[in-house]
Structure 1
Amino acid sequence: MLAILPRWNIPDPGLHRLLGEMLDPDRKILAALERVVPLSGKRIADVGTGIGYFPMLLARRTGRTYGIESDPSLLAAARQRASASHQPNIRIVEGDAHNLPLRDAAVDIVLNGRIDPQDGALPAIAESLRVLRPGGRLVVIGYYGRDDLSSLFEPEIVAHARAATQRRTGWWLRNGFKIKVVHTRLDLRDPAAAREILPRVFGERGRTYLETDHPPMPELKLALYHLAKPAVSPEVRRSR
């Protein structure tokens, strides 16, 4: 989940927890996800789950929910949180986007925050489609840009996000994805938490941002890049 923010690759469960509390306090990602694909009773795989943010958030409304993580420290933290939650439908398992520990057609929805819009990600997309049931949906949660926090990112990251989301030539649409923009916010009202998080995520730009006049809850535009797996056609069903 925390690869939503470019450069966030620090396997520190404590910092992941803090950022999870700061990101999207209005739960707009969850509301947008529900509009893209109904969640009730669905089997879900969250790839790159980190400390299990989305499984914890979704478990009360979904069916079996898998949190898949490759980093040992984050995996251990996610398993501990899942055990403490007493949610029997959560399973935290080891794996990565290129080798999902699930059988074919195992889930209805795959969430992934670690697919970058470039052709090198196509094998990971194919692996997600493998574990989806016909009619299921892959949802990539990623950065969209054009927001209050664009100045914090390296220019090439902002340019890459903008190019990938162009309506005619962008990578996402060229590869069959639809785009749902989500106007979230980053909660910086706790100065101590902001001072701990922003320099770790954004480096010197984060420090500079905190030293200037800034909104307490700046807008962060994310997007749900979603792709449906084709359903089995009526002709195929009749031929079985």
Structure 2
Amino acid sequence: MRRSAALLRAFLREQTDPAHTYGLLARDAADQVERHHPLSGATVVDVGGGAGHFTEEFRRRGARAFLFEPDPAELHADDRRPHGAVLADGYLLPLADGAADVCFSSNVLEHVADPQTFLSEMVRVTRPGGLIYVAFTNWYSPWGGHETAPWHYLGAARARARYRRRTGREAKHTLGENLFAVHVGPTLRQVRARPDVRIVSARSRYWPFLPGAITRVPLLREIATWNLLLILRRCP
């Protein structure tokens, strides 16, 4: 409960204090990775890591971490671009097969038009026995519409219009352009059907209790999961 409350408070400060929010989220994510794979000495690929908060946290823990980000604006946000960051598309990473011990992606999958191809590329660059960490905000989550939430439940266009009226500016995210409706059930079925990975954990990323049970209940999981965390092991 303390962890979930701290993350919620941080998210409420995201617009005014992004360094605090993403610094806390990076430490939390690194803790989750280390439960399944040591970071010290590991090669970690951070796909779509924005300004590099996650990459920097992995490096602090002894990993050889590399950031691949497709959006120049995100890469240079807050003048935080970490050394060695690469402008690259997650659909076609400039890496050899099996180059990474850990392939990491936080809150990116809902921003790509073809999640299956994106996941396949993450699997490709992960060595056999390596770890794949994928977390995303599902569309029917209370935060599914991002800055327009929770009004996206009434329709994406209506939610954007309300945001424009309330703030006097356009929302950053547009459904079908840079935000896509990704769902828990179909994603779990697609991953389970893959012969090249096995699921280590499928759980709500932030839910304070029984986080794995929520994802096993159809319909309820689409709302209550809030943010789906998949930890996968690359099969030999």
The alpha-carbon distance between structure 1 residues 79 and 97, as it changes in their structure 2 partners (threshold 3 A), is farther
Q: Which residue of 2 aligns with 1:32?
A: 32
Q: Which residue of 2 aligns with 1:182?
A: 205
Q: How many Å apart are 1:117 and its aligned residue?
A: 11
Distance (whole Å) between structure 1 residues aligned to residue 47 and residue 91 of structure 2: 10
Distance (whole Å) between structure 1 residues aligned to residue 185 and residue 51 of structure 2: 31
Count, aligned residues: 174
Q: How many Å apart are 1:134 and its aligned residue?
A: 1.6
Q: Does 1:154 align with 2:125?
A: no
Q: How many Å apart are 1:135 and its aligned residue?
A: 1.0
Q: Which residue of 1 aligns with 2:68?
A: 68
Matches within 5 A, 1:78-89: 80-83=80-83
Q: In terms of mean alpha carbon deviation, does 116-125 or 63-72 score higher?
A: 116-125
**Contact 1:24–1:184 (CA<8 Å) still a contact in 2?**
no
The alpha-carbon distance between structure 1 residues 24 and 165, as it changes in their structure 2 partners (threshold 3 A), is farther
Distance (whole Å) between structure 2 residues aligned to residue 17 and residue 172 of structure 1: 36
Matches within 5 A, 1:120-159: 120-143=114-137, 152=150, 154-155=152-153
Q: Does 1:101 align with 2:124?
A: no
Distance (whole Å) between structure 2 residues aligned to residue 57 and residue 48 of structure 1: 15
Q: How many Å apart are 1:228 and its aligned residue?
A: 1.7
Distance (whole Å) between structure 2 residues aligned to residue 17 and residue 71 of structure 1: 22
Q: How many Å apart are 1:55 and its aligned residue?
A: 0.6
The alpha-carbon distance between structure 1 residues 117 and 82, as it changes in their structure 2 partners (threshold 3 A), is closer
The alpha-carbon distance between structure 1 residues 181 and 142, as it changes in their structure 2 partners (threshold 3 A), is same
Distance (whole Å) between structure 1 residues aligned to residue 190 and residue 230 of structure 2: 11
Distance (whole Å) between structure 2 residues aligned to residue 153 and residue 44 of structure 1: 37
Q: How many Å apart are 1:153 and its aligned residue?
A: 6.2
Distance (whole Å) between structure 2 residues aligned to residue 24 and residue 76 of structure 1: 16
**Contact 2:97–2:125 (CA<8 Å) still a contact in 1?**
yes
The alpha-carbon distance between structure 1 residues 229 and 122, as it changes in their structure 2 partners (threshold 3 A), is same
Distance (whole Å) between structure 1 residues aligned to residue 129 and residue 82 of structure 2: 28
Q: Does 1:54 align with 2:54?
A: yes
Distance (whole Å) between structure 2 residues aligned to residue 74 and residue 160 of structure 1: 22
Q: Does 1:222 align with 2:227?
A: yes
The alpha-carbon distance between structure 1 residues 33 and 138, as it changes in their structure 2 partners (threshold 3 A), is same
SS of 2:114 mapped into structure 1: helix
SS of 2:102 mapped into structure 1: strand
**2:103 counterpart letter in structure 1:** V
Extract unaligned runs of 5+ from structure 1: 1-14, 84-90, 186-218, 232-240
Extract unaligned runs of 5+ from structure 2: 1-13, 157-180, 209-223
Q: TM-score, normalised by structure 1?
A: 0.56
- Which has the higher Rg, Structure 1 or Structure 2? 1
Output one character per residue of 1:47-103: Cα deviation in whole Å (capped at 9) or x when no partner. Answer: 1111111011111113311100111222344885425xxxxxxx2111111111222
**1:154 counterpart letter in structure 2:** H
SS of 2:60 mapped into structure 1: coil
Q: Which residue of 1 aligns with 2:20?
A: 21
Q: How many Å apart are 1:172 and its aligned residue?
A: 4.2
Q: How many Å apart are 1:222 and its aligned residue?
A: 3.0
The alpha-carbon distance between structure 1 residues 29 and 152, as it changes in their structure 2 partners (threshold 3 A), is farther
